[in-house]
Structure 1
């Protein structure tokens, strides 16, 4: 087995964070899919550990939370008990975003029940240093979990969107037309102008655009939960530290005061211990 150089690692990671599939990267760069997958998992584990250690003490004022759906292996309606034991089925990614710095404060991959909401909100609360104005959607699991994580030390409101039904259109992959919203203040006092989940919903779009596994109606979905979690950890690490936000003109981590410069892909790769992987030979030799 040969060492994969830092240059090659940077090339692979750069292609991954720009939304390319593993098979596409294999064709472009000439590495085996196993090599790319191993690097992705190692990078994901390292990014997750780095986030846990360094994305702390965030002095946010407004936080938006939401969940984005995907699946592993197959949709929940199509899996059997054996596949569920292998972590197949729906996979929800919970995210908490600082509305001012656009920093992803916390994320969690799991199911959409109350137990997962509790774990997620406790992690969000542990990373904040000040009282925040928190907004979530109308998912009921948030109500108890926010109270348990923050107590009374939060200004919390739900933004509930109301959708109309349109039988003339196929709504299989999209919701109906939004015909209005309702707000419910559950704790503290809220500035009505800032009861919103718009920024975290825009983050959901960014996530779908930059993680190939979230692309609908393709075979690019994750086949293993481990790989799915790794891709998400890498994406949010790149988003926070490497990707310059077009409005802020700095990275979210810079705006939040966590770092003082834009990370390059090489710096991102440098936090990873040198993995031992094998490079695939040229296509012509393989064909022979």
Structure 2
């Protein structure tokens, strides 16, 4: 087995962070799907560690949080129909990625992959708190799980917390029978703001930035694209792809409104990281020569 050069690794990661699937990257690079997958796994693990070690002690004041849906191998309603014995049904089904963004620097402060339960909410909010230096104003959607998670983690006196609930009308208000209407966004009919703790400034109660980040995730990770067969087949690889995306977004991608990366705006980095820097995060093992495995065994 021949090892990929740094240039090849940079090229393949470039495909992945710009929204290509593993197989598309395999076709364009001429490398096998197994090679592409291994590169994702190695780099994803390194990115998880890099985020934990570098995104902390933040002087953030305004945070928006949300959760975005996807699924692994099959949607919840079809998990029982899985016949492939190699698939762990406990790791299949709907999966939610919880994300928190700094409204000023646009930095992804924290993310968590799990279900949409109170347990996941608490894990997510606990991780968020551990990365902050000071009091924040937090805005989330109307999910009830946030309330218990935030109050039990921060307490009522240590955070300014508000929720914004949005109600949507029928996606077919005129009775249009065309099937493509099903894929159009439903019209927003009502917005309700509720103060939960502290004294949140009503001017900054919004989830616009984090909802825009949801679009960025769907555009830059093929496995989040709906109505395709590019969905994740393994939970672990799903998490590695997310870790790669957020390191690329935070440290490499120039934000158009800021004209620097979110990490630079937040004071975490002085320069823009490159894909080669991300490649160098992963420890690359030299490929074993033919017969070396039997000799060592």
TM-score class, shorter: over 0.9
Shift of 1:3: 2.3
Secondary structure of 2:91's aligned partner: coil
1:230 aligns with 2:234: no
Encode CA deviations 1:114-157: one digit per residue, 9 max, x unaligned: 00000000000000001001000000000000011111211000
For 1:56 and 1:81, the matched residues in 2 are separated by 43
Secondary structure of 2:256's aligned partner: coil
For 1:117 and 1:182, the matched residues in 2 are separated by 21
CA contact (8 A) 2:16 2:22 kept: yes
What are the within-5 Å matches in structure 2 for residues 111-122 of structure 1? 111-122=115-126
Aligned with residue 95 of structure 1, among 94, 99, 102: 99
The 3 A distance-change label for structure 1 pair 210 and 277 is: farther
Q: Which residue of 1 aligns with 2:282?
A: 272
Q: Which residue of 2 aligns with 1:285?
A: none
The 3 A distance-change label for structure 1 pair 276 and 139 is: farther
Secondary structure of 1:69's aligned partner: strand
Between 79-88 and 208-217, the greater mean CA deviation after superposition: 79-88
Q: Which residue of 1 aligns with 2:153?
A: 149
Shift of 1:6: 1.5
Shift of 1:95: 0.1
Shift of 1:85: 3.1
1:193 aligns with 2:198: no
Secondary structure of 1:80's aligned partner: helix
1:130 aligns with 2:139: no
Q: Which has the higher contact order (CA 8 A, sep 6+)?
A: 1
C-alpha RMSD over aligned residues = 1.7
For 1:66 and 1:276, the matched residues in 2 are separated by 41
What are the within-5 Å matches in structure 2 for residues 159-170 of structure 1? 159-167=164-172, 168=175
Aligned with residue 207 of structure 1, among 217, 233, 236: 217
For 2:287 and 2:110, the matched residues in 1 are separated by 31
CA contact (8 A) 1:159 1:195 kept: yes
1:66 aligns with 2:66: yes
Structure 2 unmatched ranges of 5 or more: 289-297
Q: TM-score, normalised by structure 2?
A: 0.90
CA contact (8 A) 2:67 2:99 kept: yes
For 1:173 and 1:110, the matched residues in 2 are separated by 26
CA contact (8 A) 1:66 1:95 kept: yes
Between 165-174 and 118-127, the greater mean CA deviation after superposition: 165-174
How many residues align? The count is: 278
CA contact (8 A) 2:167 2:190 kept: yes
What are the within-5 Å matches in structure 2 for residues 177-192 of structure 1? 177-192=187-202
CA contact (8 A) 1:163 1:175 kept: no
CA contact (8 A) 1:39 1:275 kept: no
Shift of 1:226: 0.8
What are the within-5 Å matches in structure 2 for residues 17-56 of structure 1? 17-56=17-56
Shift of 1:75: 0.7
For 1:276 and 1:72, the matched residues in 2 are separated by 31
Aligned with residue 244 of structure 1, among 254, 261, 286: 254
Q: Which residue of 2 aligns with 1:85?
A: 89
